[in-house]
Structure 1
Amino acid sequence: MRRLIAGLTVLAGLASWPWIGAQAAPAAGGAVERNPGRGTNILIVGIDSRAGLSAAEKRRLHVGGEGCDCTDVMMLVHLSEDRRRASVVSIPRDSYVQYATPEGTAGEAPHGKINGAFKIGRGPLAVRTVEKVTGLSVDHYLETDFTGFERAVDDLGGATVCTDKPLRDENSGLDITTGTHHLDGNRALGYARARHLDPPGDLGRVRRQQRMLADMLDGLTVRGALADPVRAADTARRLLGSVRTDERTGMNDLIGIGWTLGRLPADRTEFATVPISHFDHRVPGVGSTLLWHESRARALWEALRADRPITGDTRILPVPETRAETNPAGIRVRVDDAKVATALERSRFVVTDTSASAPAVRPAGPAVITFPAGREADAATLAAALPGARLRSADRPDAVFDVTVGSEPVVVKTVTYDRNVAEGAPVTADRLRCSGSPAPASDTAQHG
């Protein structure tokens, strides 16, 4: 009886949500009426602050040093009007933007890293700045800090992460081996904060955060934690102990959001990072920042405003004729043909022309790429520029790729490397999350 009463109370509260009421009431002829609108936008931020932490807590959380009192994580979640799609867009902390004007001030607002808006005007200015630079209205705001994140992950049953190589970052305390791991809140915090990995910086970190969130949502769905309003209410109550909300966001809002996310299949949940044009834009007094790609970022926000999917939108992520999976600028190549060497340089490979010592009679067959063992991904990038070339692995101490041109004509294609593709392209959760079963629960105890 108590569960029935609780369920009726939750449903009564949820009826106040226009979109839930609209979905619940079929119109004449069996069609479902929809309220006009543009969906719902939720801004989720994690704060980098050591305020109130004891020395022991700082050691346990691996957060020594001075905090910036700014947003360390920023995600904008868009729920479509029909509640059949969710789009999660990460906004890198070093994005260089113009802040919204703080309340009670006059004149032009300053520019800076987007994470600094919180330090100036706390959550309200962070929200207004996101609204200013995206053109979207933020309907709900959720905020947590280090301890809140740790507690939230523990309360929600932990986080599953996977990696194809060992990950170690002394700054964040992350230290996990190759494979799939189920992490408690403390280790999940280290995973979410790690920046000193390969690739370094914010975009790789943001993609790992997205992958962890995708797997957490999958885990909550599998366990039924969001299966109905009553279970979603229980999950929301636990979450409210770890996060702070704005005055527009209450228990019923969290239940509705959770219930919506819990009913979405993985291929209807999208993740992306704002497209970047400059990854090291230096600003006096600010430091190294990220500049958004003007046209592609604008296309991203326009798609969300129009309530359209962001995956498959070539305005957000153009499809090059020949895509490089790794950066040619990190691949050193010796080429024994001058024309081929010049053509490869156009794609930014680091080329040494050895044509002066090439044999007078070329070996029969196509060109051969001899690459250092363990550099298969880079070999695939070079092979994309030289279609038809044969690949040959060899143990080489100098880490240089050799291209030996044969008797057959060589076609050189211009390859395009886009770091946004590698670390932030729009993708659905089924392609992002870990595959296979999570590691046993004992993994947490062994490494926690």
Structure 2
Amino acid sequence: MRRITVALTLLATLAGGTFAGSRAVSDAQKSLGGGPDGRGTTLLVVGIDSRAGLSAAEKERLHAGGKGCNCTDVMMLVHLSADERRASIVSIPRDSYVQYAADPATTAAAGPARFGKINGAYARGAGPLTVRTVEHVTGLRVDHYVETGFTGFEQAVDDLGGATVCTDKPLKDKGSGLDLPAGTHRADGNGALRYVRARHLTPPGDLGRVRRQQRLVNDLLARLRAEGALSGPADTARTVRTLLRSVRTDDRTKWHDLVRVGWALGRLRPEDIELATVPIRLFDHRVPGVGSTLVWDEARSAALWNALRADRPLTGDPRIQPVPETPVTINPAFIAVRVDEPTVADALRRNGFAVTDTSHSAPVVRPEGPPVIRHAPGREAEAATLAAALPAARIEPVAHHDRFIDVAVGTRPVEVRTVTYDRNTAEGAPVTGDTLRCPDVAATSPWDGAVRATSPTAPARSPEGAASRAR
């Protein structure tokens, strides 16, 4: 403990600025205890959707020609456990429908409670109201606050040497300018920004986008650890100093606070980092004057916040993520199936699959054995989801097969099992970093076109949308 305190004191002294000498000793010692009541330390990290101050050339480069909302586009809570042996990163989707925190300058009788999308708190009261609103709806205390904008994010990724992005199928989104081939790639800040902003993909919406954001953060942390950028106080200090060129903090977040958190993250293994999204109950809750919103699952989100407040792990907690008997990762409604037997077709249709009954063209004599599932190469995940409903079936990829997945029923009786698709499970369940990392990182290639492999000496840019300070 004394060795850590001395190291942080030296780093704080080197940082200069508003804290040095005896004050640095005091702040470093206080920070070692984590958050209040020894329950760990919680940071709120946000990305701001603002075009203010962007030139026409910057808007074109960032593919940000639309109208900004001056609201939070990305929101992540990073909770470091009190013993600094676990970190939990929880994403809060931007369209979450919540009650805003009250203005401390007014009384409860001053007017009705205000509700809206959580990203709108920033437009109403910048960082301070964003922090208070998150604390209000989660019951957590936010110890530190960090924000950046489009160019700030781009610069941060460039300054840190780029980011790893991956996908098992091509991703294209006109809204963000994303055009990503299948595979694992090294992206520069511009490409990483397009990757984390993409919303108009399949399945559509924020949960898939949030998972991509988590994947990028997870892989970036893994690379920084592997390269030694977080291996000790001096290396971490250099990394934090680089990061602070493109992000802003609140008045309570000092340089040595970020060094301590970064150093702790550098000591964690991938399996010690959890990533999750707030569980959702309603995915298209329409509110007059607000639009389409997301409503949290009350019981499951409460269990998540309770676990963080109690400094407990999120993974493996069935109160946060119930485990259904037969879970599937793809919505059956998105899987087009042709079935050549009417009873099986009806059962799969009741299971939610998009079924076409082709029994009129079925062979007079059924082939021996269980049903056979035939699909085009590249549709293995859809076939596996269908096979979960037909546990005895055999799966056969067929070259040049069309978009349908065919079920040929044989002579054996067919069991059709009820499957459960939970979008929270598929796109936002608590997982550990080792399960979310991009595959074949060693084979990473530059992403050609608008996105390139990057150098940590990219030209500096000014982070917009981050002028205000929380608290």
1:40 Cα deviation from its structure 2 partner? 0.9
Aligned partner of 2:27 in structure 1 is: 16
| Per-residue deviation, residues 21-48 of structure 1 (Å, max 9, x unmatched) | 569xxxxxxxxxx995211110000000
Where do 1:19-98 residues align within 5 Å?
A: 21=32, 36-98=37-99
Provide the C-alpha distance between the structure 1 equivalents of 2:356 and 2:161, rounded to a whole number of angstroms: 54
Question: Match of 1:371, as an amino acid?
Answer: H
Where do 1:419-430 residues align within 5 Å?
A: 419-430=423-434
Provide the C-alpha distance between the structure 1 equivalents of 2:81 and 2:30, rounded to a whole number of angstroms: 10
Aligned partner of 2:131 in structure 1 is: 127
1:9 Cα deviation from its structure 2 partner? 1.9
1:371 Cα deviation from its structure 2 partner? 3.3
CA contact (8 A) 2:7 2:233 kept: no
Aligned partner of 1:136 in structure 2 is: 140
Question: Match of 2:78, as an amino acid?
Answer: V
Provide the C-alpha distance between the structure 1 equivalents of 2:7 and 2:69, rounded to a whole number of angstroms: 42
Where do 1:211-360 residues align within 5 Å?
A: 211-354=215-358
Moved more, 397-406 or 53-62: 397-406
Where do 1:426-437 residues align within 5 Å?
A: 426-437=430-441
Provide the C-alpha distance between the structure 2 equivalents of 1:348 and 1:212, rounded to a whole number of angstroms: 32
Residue 165 of structure 2 is aligned with which of 146, 151, 161? 161
Provide the C-alpha distance between the structure 2 equivalents of 1:137 and 1:264, rounded to a whole number of angstroms: 23
| Per-residue deviation, residues 327-375 of structure 1 (Å, max 9, x unmatched) | 1112233434443333223311123445567666543322233334542
CA contact (8 A) 2:163 2:219 kept: yes
Residue 203 of structure 1 is aligned with which of 191, 203, 207? 207
Q: Structure 1 164/80 Cα, relative in aligned 2: closer, same or farther at 3 Å? A: same
1:413 Cα deviation from its structure 2 partner? 0.6
Aligned partner of 1:28 in structure 2 is: none
The runs of 5 or more residues in structure 1 that have no matched partner are 24-33
Aligned partner of 2:460 in structure 1 is: none
1:260 Cα deviation from its structure 2 partner? 0.9
Provide the C-alpha distance between the structure 1 equivalents of 2:293 and 2:169, rounded to a whole number of angstroms: 28
TM-score (structure 1 length as normaliser): 0.89
1:74 Cα deviation from its structure 2 partner? 0.2
Q: 1:73 is paired with a residue of what secondary structure?
A: strand
Provide the C-alpha distance between the structure 1 equivalents of 2:217 and 2:413, rounded to a whole number of angstroms: 49
Moved more, 273-282 or 393-402: 393-402
Establish whether residue 100 from structure 1 lines up as the match of residue 101 from structure 2: yes
Provide the C-alpha distance between the structure 1 equivalents of 2:33 and 2:98, rounded to a whole number of angstroms: 38
CA contact (8 A) 1:144 1:244 kept: yes
Provide the C-alpha distance between the structure 2 equivalents of 1:246 and 1:411, rounded to a whole number of angstroms: 59
Aligned partner of 2:457 in structure 1 is: none
Provide the C-alpha distance between the structure 2 equivalents of 1:401 and 1:133, rounded to a whole number of angstroms: 44
Provide the C-alpha distance between the structure 1 equivalents of 2:27 and 2:236, rounded to a whole number of angstroms: 16
Provide the C-alpha distance between the structure 2 equivalents of 1:305 and 1:251, rounded to a whole number of angstroms: 25
Q: 1:412 is paired with a residue of what secondary structure?
A: coil
Q: 1:71 is paired with a residue of what secondary structure?
A: strand
Q: Structure 1 254/366 Cα, relative in aligned 2: closer, same or farther at 3 Å? A: same
Q: CA RMSD in A?
A: 2.6
CA contact (8 A) 2:184 2:444 kept: no
CA contact (8 A) 1:14 1:256 kept: no
Aligned partner of 2:188 in structure 1 is: 184
The runs of 5 or more residues in structure 2 that have no matched partner are 1-5, 13-20, 453-471
Q: Structure 1 275/389 Cα, relative in aligned 2: closer, same or farther at 3 Å? A: same
1:119 Cα deviation from its structure 2 partner? 0.4
Moved more, 177-186 or 351-360: 351-360
Q: Structure 1 238/393 Cα, relative in aligned 2: closer, same or farther at 3 Å? A: closer
| Per-residue deviation, residues 100-145 of structure 1 (Å, max 9, x unmatched) | 1234342232211110110011111111111111111111110111
Q: 1:129 is paired with a residue of what secondary structure?
A: helix
Moved more, 324-333 or 399-408: 399-408
Provide the C-alpha distance between the structure 1 equivalents of 2:68 and 2:191, rounded to a whole number of angstroms: 19
Q: 1:16 is paired with a residue of what secondary structure?
A: helix
CA contact (8 A) 1:366 1:407 kept: yes
Moved more, 363-372 or 422-431: 363-372
Provide the C-alpha distance between the structure 2 equivalents of 1:268 and 1:219, rounded to a whole number of angstroms: 15
Provide the C-alpha distance between the structure 2 equivalents of 1:57 and 1:288, rounded to a whole number of angstroms: 30
Provide the C-alpha distance between the structure 1 equivalents of 2:80 and 2:262, rounded to a whole number of angstroms: 11
Provide the C-alpha distance between the structure 2 equivalents of 1:125 and 1:211, rounded to a whole number of angstroms: 28
Q: 1:41 is paired with a residue of what secondary structure?
A: strand
Q: 1:168 is paired with a residue of what secondary structure?
A: strand
Q: Structure 1 71/7 Cα, relative in aligned 2: closer, same or farther at 3 Å? A: closer
TM-score (structure 2 length as normaliser): 0.85
Q: Structure 1 160/352 Cα, relative in aligned 2: closer, same or farther at 3 Å? A: closer
Question: Match of 1:97, as an amino acid?
Answer: V
CA contact (8 A) 2:88 2:275 kept: yes
Q: 2:27 is paired with a residue of what secondary structure?
A: coil
Question: Match of 1:287, as an amino acid?
Answer: G
Question: Match of 2:138, as an amino acid?
Answer: T
Moved more, 327-336 or 352-361: 352-361
Provide the C-alpha distance between the structure 2 equivalents of 1:286 and 1:201, rounded to a whole number of angstroms: 17
| Per-residue deviation, residues 198-246 of structure 1 (Å, max 9, x unmatched) | 3322111111111111111111112211211122222222222211111
Q: Structure 1 428/204 Cα, relative in aligned 2: closer, same or farther at 3 Å? A: same
Tell me the matched-pair count: 434
Q: Structure 1 147/356 Cα, relative in aligned 2: closer, same or farther at 3 Å? A: closer
Question: Match of 2:70, as an amino acid?
Answer: D
